[in-house]
A = this chain, B = another copy of it.
Amino acid sequence: MKPVVVRTIDRADAAAVETLGSLGTSSVHEAMGRIGLMKTYMRPAWPGAAIAGTAVTVLAQPGDNWMLHVAVEQCRPGDVLVVACTTDNTDGMFGDLLATSLQARGVRGIVIDAGVRDVASLKAMGFPAWSRAISAKGTVKATLGSVNIPVVCAGALVNPGDAIVADDDGVVVVPAKRAADVAEAGQKRVANEEEKRKRLAAGVLGLDMYNMRPALEAAGLVYVARLEDLDR
């Protein structure tokens, strides 16, 4: 495919994105029907960061951050830069200079299936980053990639404009068209959980609250006093 920069993308609804961010990745992932999660090797460069935004995507070459510079220009306030790589790579493709530039444009964070560096500075700046590695290794600017094409980042399909939710539990992708529905489903789910939390804190067992006992018995679960009592 030709290297290309796509200038016009359809971003997920801004209000829905805000709601998704308030829900957090775990609730959003459940509300999605348990799909859209990136691989668990994606970790925050510094703990406690939590963001939501709309994806500007980059497909980069290993050890080459040329296209990140190109992508900056395509970003708007509220975006999240999502960087996939044509092959597994841990080089430090992203550091505090690029972060300065993104922050100046109102970008909320970066999600990159490669390495980041200048971790202490990123934390001091309050610029969040999720990556597969931390690495001081710098990169060349030699080979083209693309901006705002569909990419697979850490095992998840990301289309430009999709909603990205990221926090200490990982990174979840919500297709732009489903953002409003998922936000609504997630809000119901969280309200419901709050009620459950109170009952569980009061000592009610999940076994009873969820009425699991009949299903467990039907599935064949056996209770014995001691393991020796089991007729295997």
A232 touching B2, Cβ below 8 Å: yes
A97 interfacial contact with B, CB 8 Å: yes
B97 touching A197, Cβ below 8 Å: yes
B150 touching A157, Cβ below 8 Å: yes
Complex Cα distance, B230 from A134, in Å, reads: 33
A62-79 interface bits toward B, Cβ cutoff 8 Å, 1 = contact, 0 = none: 110010011011000000
B155 touching A152, Cβ below 8 Å: yes
A1-38 interface bits toward B, Cβ cutoff 8 Å, 1 = contact, 0 = none: 11111111000000000000000111011101111010
Residue in B203, B212, B221 whose CB lies within 8 Å of A4: B221
A193 interfacial contact with B, CB 8 Å: yes
Interface size classification for chain A: 35 or more
A184 interfacial contact with B, CB 8 Å: no
Residue in B72, B87, B115, B206 whose CB lies within 8 Å of A205: B72
- Which residues from chain A sit less than 8 Å from chain B, CB to CB? 1-8, 24-26, 28-30, 32-35, 37, 39-40, 43, 46-48, 50, 61-63, 66, 69-70, 72-73, 86-92, 95-98, 100-101, 103-105, 115, 117-120, 133-138, 140-144, 148-150, 152, 155-157, 167-170, 172, 178, 193, 196-197, 200-203, 205-207, 210, 212, 216, 219-227, 230-232
